[in-house]
Amino acid sequence: MDQMPSGIAKTGAETAEVGADFNLDDLLSIDSPASLPDDSVELKSLFIRLVEKSREKVGLLEGQVHARLDDLIQAKIQEQVHAQLQIQLQAELKVQLAIRLQEIFEQMRLQRLRQYGPSSEINPLQGRLFDEAESLCAQPELDPSSESGPAVVDANARASVVKPRGKRQPLPSELERVDIVHDLPEHERVCECGTPMVVIGQEVSEQLDIVPMQIRVLRHIRLRYGCPKSEQAPVIAPPAAQVLPKSNASAGFLAMLLTTKYADGVPLARFETILARHGAEVPRQTLARWVIGASQALQPLANLMRDILLESDVIHMDETRVQVLKEPGRDPSTQSFMWVQKGGPPNKPVILFDYDPSRSAQVPIRLLEGWRGYLMTDGYHGYNALAKLPGIERLACWVHARRKFVEAVKIQSKGKRSRADQAIEMIGELYGIERRIKDRSVLERFETRQAESLPVLAKIRAWLDLALPGAPPKTALGTALHYLNHSWPGLVGYVERGDLPIDNNPVENAIRPFVIGRKNWLFADTQAGAHASALIYSLLETAKTNGHEPYLWLRHILNALPSAKKVEHYEKLLPWNLNPLDLASNPNF
């Protein structure tokens, strides 16, 4: 028998050890059957061992294959998920980029419109805001079988309609008349028959004429009396009481100074030039001191006006910026604010201006301390703290809500109709109702609001709920929708009573003279000047809203102030206690 390989040619007693110690690699190295052992037991043991080793190898390979497959599958899944995420992310980025580009485009267009475009908020597709009934009557009736909607009136066609020229109104009868008689030469007043002609009538035409401002000097002459026998010391009449005792400015001069600066918006530097042109050299620093001094003398009237304001249960409030150059601890370019309030009983309307360096929520709380009622404001969050106080209910302004939709309409493509147009039309329905009932009693206005305005408000709310989710919040339309939604509780509050306002226009109209003046005088120099301006604006705007001509009313009260000693004396000088006709017809009233 051929010689067996070492490790295989063993005795029977060593079979178990051969099976246990047999190396699978040794078996795989056998190159012919002759190399296998002849003993069946040994061969069987080798075979079993081979099977076990093979199973281990197969199991190991299967595990490696499965692990590799799992790795490949996970990698493929991750690759697909990553690709899907990339696609989704790119799509979202495209949408966000498109929205952002739209926002930037709208902001640029709005800025250009604010700077160069008309300031009117009239929507050319809307027509006149309150003439809905007249516009509908003027339109031709539509065929009921027609499926088309109402025709849109061409804005260009409307603009091309030329309004007839109005008839010239007669000049006011209260103005002084100066007669200038135009007569014929004597030789033209002789008839051809030789008889002198007589006057049988006249033709009168009137022209407006202006007498330039006249500056004069009032000489107060106090006569001194003495006894010829020198038995008594001389006596002299007391000096006339003045608003500014140590100045040489009369009450009339001060009235003109305050009216020119605050009612007409003429800066002191320009008024100084006007005075110099008429022969009076008064430095602007002196004029400024007179303004501050006069405001201090008028302070009691402003205090009484505030008492009347706080008696009202409805107050309008707004704020606008003012620049004060010399404020302690602040840069000259820092913006301060004028806070404006309007209220009072119907027969005693009051408008008050208050200067404050801050725009914080503490300012309105201080100004309306102890007051309870309905507060009409815009959407500025600085009023939130005041509105949370017990007894105060905040109303929101429909004009501000509408204004944002007007901006959205301005930047949309011409001829395109959007949700902003729909909002403006529905808000127009609310104002159409208000225009129709403005002269009715409080009870009638309340009943009409409950019957007609509430359904319109419900329609706007349902429309808003549908439009809000799909509008990007930073676009012009999205901004308008979110503002409307945020302000909704205050916007619907006006229907609770018949005397509540629908918007904040009364106080915005009161601010307008201040804004016009600010464009001329630009800033206040000191805090004292800012406080003085606030007080004088308060007096003049309150006088105007009570029907007074500012100069005549100021001249009267400045003449009367030096002799006022009691509260009753000051109360008689308040605008609602004076008749404007008396002041106009009697300069010495």
Q: Model confidence over 536-547: pLDDT tens digits?
A: 999 999 999 999
Question: What are the pLDDT digits (tens) for 460-477?
Answer: 999 999 999 888 888 888
Q: And the tokens for 132?
A: 């809905």
pLDDT confidence of residue 63: 82
Q: Given this model, what pLDDT does residue 9 score?
A: 41
Establish if 537 belongs to a structural domain: no
How would residue 32 be classed by pLDDT, with cut points 50, 70 and 90?
Answer: low
Q: Residue 1 pLDDT > 60, yes or no?
A: no
Whether 583 has a pLDDT exceeding 90, the answer reads: no
Query: pLDDT band at 117, cuts 50/70/90?
Result: low
Q: Could you count the other beta carbons within 10 Å of the beta carbon of residue 111?
A: 10
145 vs 15, 136, 142, 149, CA distance in Å?
110, 19, 9, 11
Residue 371 belongs to a domain: no
- Res 320: pLDDT: 94
| DSSP classification of residue 196 | B
Name which of 26-35, 367-376, 385-394, 524-533 the model is least confident about: 26-35
> How high is the pLDDT of residue 143?
38
Q: Answer yes or no: is 570 within a domain.
A: no
Answer yes or no: is 477 within a domain. Answer: yes
Asked whether residue 154 is assigned to any structural domain, the reply reads no
Q: Does pLDDT of 327 surpass 50?
A: yes
pLDDT digit string (tens) for 436-456?
A: 999 999 999 999 999 999 999
* Res 41: pLDDT: 79
pLDDT score recorded for residue 576: 95
Residue with tokens 């590799």: 68
**Residue ending a domain, choose from 88, 108, 128:** 108
Structure-model confidence comparison of residues 506 and 132, the more confident one:
506
Cβ atoms of 470 and 481 within 8 Å: the answer is no
pTM above 0.75, yes or no: no
Least confident of 110-119, 157-166, 321-330, 375-384: 157-166
**Distance in angstroms (rounded) separating the CA atoms of residues 399 and 461:** 17
User: Percent of the chain, pLDDT > 70?
Assistant: 84
Average pLDDT value for the chain = 84
The residues facing 322 across adjacent strands are 336
Confidence label for 27 from pLDDT (cuts 50, 70 and 90) = low
pLDDT at residue number 162: 59
Of the three residues 82, 108, 134, the one that is the final residue of a domain is 108
pLDDT digits (tens, 9 = 90+) for 477-500: 889 999 999 999 999 999 999 999
Residue in 439, 453, 461 with CA at minimum distance from that of residue 497:
453
pLDDT tier at 134 (50, 70, 90 boundaries)? very low
Average confidence (pLDDT) over 99-128: 64
17 band by pLDDT with thresholds 50, 70 and 90? very low
For residue range 512-525, list pLDDT tens digits in order. Answer: 999 999 998 888 89
First to last CA, the chain: 157
Alpha helices in 170-279 (DSSP H): 251-258, 268-277
Q: At what angle do helices 398-410 and 40-116 cross, to 10 degrees?
A: 100
Query: Looking at beta carbons, which pairs linking 404-407 to residues 24 or more positions away fall under 8 Å?
Result: 404/476, 404/479, 404/480, 404/483, 404/484, 405/477, 405/480, 406/121, 406/123, 407/110, 407/476, 407/480
Q: Are 45 and 35 in contact (CB under 8 A)?
A: no
Least confident of 5-9, 187-191, 377-381, 402-406: 5-9
Kindly state whether residue 147 falls inside one of the protein's structural domains: no
Domain with 477, as residue range(s), is: 398-503
Query: How far is it, in rounded angstroms, from Cα 85 to Cα 79?
Result: 10
**Residue range 149-184, pLDDT digits in tens:** 333 334 444 445 556 666 788 888 878 899 999 999
d(CA 368, CA 341): 9
Q: Give 48 or 566, the one with higher predicted confidence.
A: 566
Over residues 247-271, the mean pLDDT reads 94
Q: Which residues contact 372 (CB under 8 A, 6 or more apart)?
A: 313, 390, 391, 392
Q: How far is CA 15 from CA 22, 48, 295, in A?
A: 10, 13, 127
> CA of 560: how far to CAs of 181, 307, 396, 553, 577, in Å?
41, 21, 41, 11, 14
> Is the pLDDT reported for residue 106 higher than 80?
no
* Residue 25, domain member (yes or no): yes
Q: Residues 201-232: pLDDT tens digits?
A: 999 999 999 888 889 999 999 999 999 888 88
Structure tokens at 343: 């209220």
Q: 320-350 burial, b if ≥16 CB within 10 A, otherwise e?
A: bebebbebeeeeeeeebbbbbbbbbeeebbb
Closest CA to 106 of 337, 377, 404: 404
Number of domains forming the structure of the chain: 2
Is the separation of the CB atoms in 395 and 500 below 8 Å? Answer: yes
In a domain, 493, yes or no: yes
Q: Which of 49, 79, 108 is the last residue of a domain?
A: 108
- Average pLDDT of the residues in 113-142: 49
Q: State how far the Cα of 299 lies from the Cα of 532, in Å rounded to an integer.
A: 9
